[in-house]
Amino acid sequence: MNTNVETFKYDNRIVRAFGIVTVLWGIVGMLVGMLAAVQLFFPDANLNLQFITFGRIRPLHTNAVIFAFVGNGMFMGIYYSLQRLCKARMFSDFLSWFNFWGWQLIIVSAAITLPLGFTTSKEYAELEWPVDIAIAVVWVAFSVNLFGTIAKRREKHMYVAIWFYIATAITIAVLHIVNSMEMPWSWMKSYSMYAGVQDALVQWWYGHNAVAFFLTTPYLGLMYYFLPKAANRPVFSYRLSIIHFWALVFLYIWAGPHHLLYSALPDWAQSLGMVFSLMLIAPSWGGMLNGLLTLRGAWDKVRQDPVLKFMVVAVTAYGMATLEGPLLSIKTVNSLSHYTDWTIAHVHVGALGWNGFLTFSMLYYLWPRLYRTNLWSTKMANYHFWIGLLGMMFYAIPIYVAGVTEGLMWKQFTKDGFLQYPNFLETIVQVVPMFKLRAVGGTLYLVGTFLMAYNLYRTAKAGQFEPDTEAQAAALAKAPVGHGKPSWHRLLEGKPLFFTVLTTVSILVGGLIEIVPMFLIQQNVPTIASVKPYTPLEVLGRDIYIREGCLGCHSQMIRPFRSETERYGEYSKAGEFVYDHPFLWGSERKGPDLAREGGKYPDAWHYNHMDDPRSTSPGSIMPRYSWLLTQKLDTTSLPARLNALRKVGVPYPAGFENGPAQNDLQAQAEKVAADLKQGSVTAEPDREIIALIAYLQRLGTDIKSAPATTAAK
């Protein structure tokens, strides 16, 4: 029956808006990445400004690229494809624009707060609690818009891409809420509810799934839409795409612990993460092959069409990254790769290749369609492709070399059984040339992006924007008409029920995570009696350590290998971290591990080292932290901090924060200052450097003072 054919309009404005910001934030994110990359071989590139020093802009780079570049690219693709797959305009234009402006506001607030040093220090979840709340609100708006559009769709079958979008919406919400449980102590700062090992587990459960459900599932959905569209042929096997989806969502969420192999996390949890990671090869490669095989018999099109060229590389990079990821999750491989630049190379194959190139292909696909014209210059797009590909190679290959070099040098013993490279600095100086080559690669990739921006701009100028695309489709039957199948009726009845169940479950999750941490706190009893809470001065020092992003380059987790215990000391125990809100294990070593830093060097050494690392360690790539020497320590917020820590389970005695804590702080600061004087350094006891030194000197010393630690040998 043709009587119920409806005419409606697809919203193209929102797609264009997300497209424009994708390009803009992409360029910003890559520029910040360049700034960070350059500092790794030329530390003075921070211009001695704390706001653009590596530790602070590294999270800015990752957040900008993941949530601003890829995030906006994801919204662009979803808002375009969802409307067409559902044969319906978005559920609510208001929610669309709320999603758009809310997300941009979050990005801007990240660009302001991260350089200012407001960070939770948890990777890819660095944004502080007010921004976390904003993210949750905007995400709910997006989800409502998504589900609303699906509910009013005119196409009964939900194409596989939609399922990928649904998985993204649901899972990111749960991950974000669970990982962002934090206790605020000021309007911009908080402490994680979880401590030590528990915090680490939650963080990497989140961290891995952020990769899985923010960078992978939505982009797979986009691949399943845009690749067949661009090639103008159906996906190789639709059945396989369905299996790909369901297998992926059921496996992905258990893989997180592979980020904590050989750490103080219990062994069985590590093995669980490893096994699930290995299983992921199957669906991932199924998806990659499905994408590539879609092009069978159409490779002549790939030769001509830059859109398809970008897609082929994107899908191939997806395949490479999803083979490498599981391999890196094997404990033996991980023992070499972890903490090295290998991980950095791995994620950049994913980010530059899979996410970057798929985003570029979508932009090249969409712009001519949105502006009803041809791409301004196919030749320029081809140049972009080759320059971008070359940039990727120049990025990835040197960093792989650097990673393997670092891993091998750290583990190398002489035939007499001593570390071949006992000085960590040697191993990092060795790979500095690779860091330089990487910056060349990054520059090339950025140049390509600029070419695209210009090309899209000229395309827009040449064409005429179509704000709404008119389309026609029959409405889905609202009620069974005489001869209609009865199952339809049940289906339509069942749908609101289904969404009610969904909502209930999500509320349950909310309730659960409110309650569970409370009882977790009770269980944070130290298993090592000599491990004590940080002193007030050390708490302040630790917060400076977090603010400066020290964990971007220094781990605090010594793995139980002889190469590590020889270099750093006794391996780390879970019981040592019970008061660490948040945990600061880190995931990268551009500098030595600091878990046992306490007592290794005199206070004066730390002072001089922070003032100018090259004065104590010639050739070091660490930035200067001279501002710590002059900035006054903020002691006014001490009660608020101690209070918040007590609320999350650190046993400071009642009333400690009013008076005793301040006296304790003064006394310890005077002591550090006096100690500095012995090393012929004159420093005021009320400077930030004093607190940082106090914290560094505390690190890992608790178990040294324990008489019973001999059991650990």
Partner 1 sequence: MSVIILLILASLTVALVFLGAFIWSVRSGQYEDTLTPSMRMLADEADVKKSQPNSKLK
Crossing angle of helices 638-647 and 536-547, in 10° steps, is: 90
Q: Does residue 373 interact with partner 1 by CB under 8 A?
A: yes
Q: How far is the CB of 487 from partner 1 (least distance, A)?
A: 7
Distance CA 175, CA 252 (A): 13
Q: What are phi and psi of 641, to 5 degrees?
A: -65, -45
Distance CA 162, CA 160 (A): 5
Q: How far is the CB of 205 from partner 1 (least distance, A)?
A: 5
Distance CA 1, CA 15 (A): 33
Which position among 5, 105, 187, 239 is part of the footprint of partner 1 (CB under 8 A)?
239
DSSP assignment, residue 688?
A: H
Any alpha helices (H) in 87-234, and if so which ranges?
93-113, 129-151, 160-179, 196-210, 217-231
Q: How far is the CB of 252 from partner 1 (least distance, A)?
A: 10
Q: How far is the CB of 250 from partner 1 (least distance, A)?
A: 6
Q: Does residue 233 interact with partner 1 by CB under 8 A?
A: yes
Residues 208-227 within binding reach of partner 1 (CB under 8 A)? 225
Q: How far is the CB of 584 from partner 1 (least distance, A)?
A: 17
Distance CA 71, CA 33 (A): 17
Helix, strand, coil % over all residues of the chain, rounded to 5: 65, 5, 30
Helix (H, G, I), strand (E, B) or coil at 7: strand
Any alpha helices (H) in 371-485, and if so which ranges?
378-411, 424-462
Q: Does residue 368 interact with partner 1 by CB under 8 A?
A: yes
C-beta closer to partner 1: residue 170 or 352: 170
Question: Tokens for 590?
Answer: 């551009």
Give Cα 624 distance to the centre of its chain. Answer: 26
C-beta closer to partner 1: residue 87 or 698: 87
Distance CA 182, CA 180 (A): 6
Which position among 242, 674, 708, 712 is part of the footprint of partner 1 (CB under 8 A)?
242
Helix (H, G, I), strand (E, B) or coil at 114: coil
Residues 53-112 within binding reach of partner 1 (CB under 8 A)? 84-85, 87
Q: Segment near partner 1 (CB under 8 A), from 228-236, 278-286, 449-457, 588-596?
A: 228-236
Residues 141-160 within binding reach of partner 1 (CB under 8 A)? 155, 157-160
- x/- string (CB under 8 A) for partner 1, residues 415-444? ------------------------------
Closest CA to 672 of 538, 516, 576, 520: 538
Identify the burial level of 510 via C-beta atoms within 10 angstroms of its C-beta, where 0-12 means exposed, 13-18 middle and 19 or more buried: middle
Which position among 27, 425, 432, 509 is part of the footprint of partner 1 (CB under 8 A)?
509
Q: Does residue 692 interact with partner 1 by CB under 8 A?
A: no
- x/- string (CB under 8 A) for partner 1, residues 451-490? ---------------x--xxxx--------------x---
Helix (H, G, I), strand (E, B) or coil at 598: coil
Contact 632, 687 (CB under 8 A): yes
Q: Does residue 274 interact with partner 1 by CB under 8 A?
A: no
Distance CA 522, CA 695 (A): 26
Helix (H, G, I), strand (E, B) or coil at 133: helix
Q: How many helices (H) and strands (E) does the chain have?
A: 27, 4
Contact 349, 320 (CB under 8 A): yes
Q: How many residues bind partner 1 (CB under 8 A)?
A: 67
Q: How far is the CB of 621 from partner 1 (least distance, A)?
A: 36
Q: How far is the CB of 1 from partner 1 (least distance, A)?
A: 19
C-beta closer to partner 1: residue 253 or 706: 253
Q: Does residue 266 interact with partner 1 by CB under 8 A?
A: yes
Question: Tokens for 286?
Answer: 């199924």
Q: Segment near partner 1 (CB under 8 A), from 36-44, 500-508, 585-593, 695-703?
A: 500-508
Which position among 520, 629, 640, 706 is part of the footprint of partner 1 (CB under 8 A)?
520
Q: Does residue 508 interact with partner 1 by CB under 8 A?
A: yes
Q: What are phi and psi of 626, to 5 degrees?
A: -65, -25
Helix (H, G, I), strand (E, B) or coil at 349: helix
- x/- string (CB under 8 A) for partner 1, residues 177-206? -x---------------x--xxx-xx--x-
Q: Segment near partner 1 (CB under 8 A), from 48-56, 112-120, 519-527, 690-698?
A: 519-527
Residues 307-326 within binding reach of partner 1 (CB under 8 A)? none
Q: Does residue 408 interact with partner 1 by CB under 8 A?
A: no
Q: How far is the CB of 156 from partner 1 (least distance, A)?
A: 8
Which position among 2, 3, 232, 680 is part of the footprint of partner 1 (CB under 8 A)?
232
Closest CA to 103 of 179, 221, 14: 14
Q: Does residue 171 interact with partner 1 by CB under 8 A?
A: yes
Contact 577, 264 (CB under 8 A): yes
C-beta closer to partner 1: residue 230 or 665: 230
Q: How far is the CB of 82 from partner 1 (least distance, A)?
A: 12
Half-sphere exposure of 582 (CA within 13 A, CB side): 32
C-beta closer to partner 1: residue 20 or 269: 269
DSSP-derived secondary structure for 605-622: HHHHHHH-HHHHSTT--P
Q: What is the largest CA-CA distance in the chain?
A: 96
Which position among 13, 152, 331, 369 is part of the footprint of partner 1 (CB under 8 A)?
369
Q: Does residue 562 interact with partner 1 by CB under 8 A?
A: no
Q: Does residue 330 interact with partner 1 by CB under 8 A?
A: no
Please, what is the Cα angle at 378 between 373 and 380, to 5 degrees? 125
Tell me which residues touch partner 1 (CB under 8 A).
Answer: 84-85, 87, 155, 157-160, 163, 166-167, 170-171, 174, 178, 194, 197-199, 201-202, 205, 225, 228-229, 232-235, 238-239, 241-242, 246, 249-250, 253-254, 266, 269, 368-369, 372-374, 466, 469-472, 487, 491, 494, 498, 501-502, 505, 508-509, 512-513, 516-517, 519-520, 523, 574
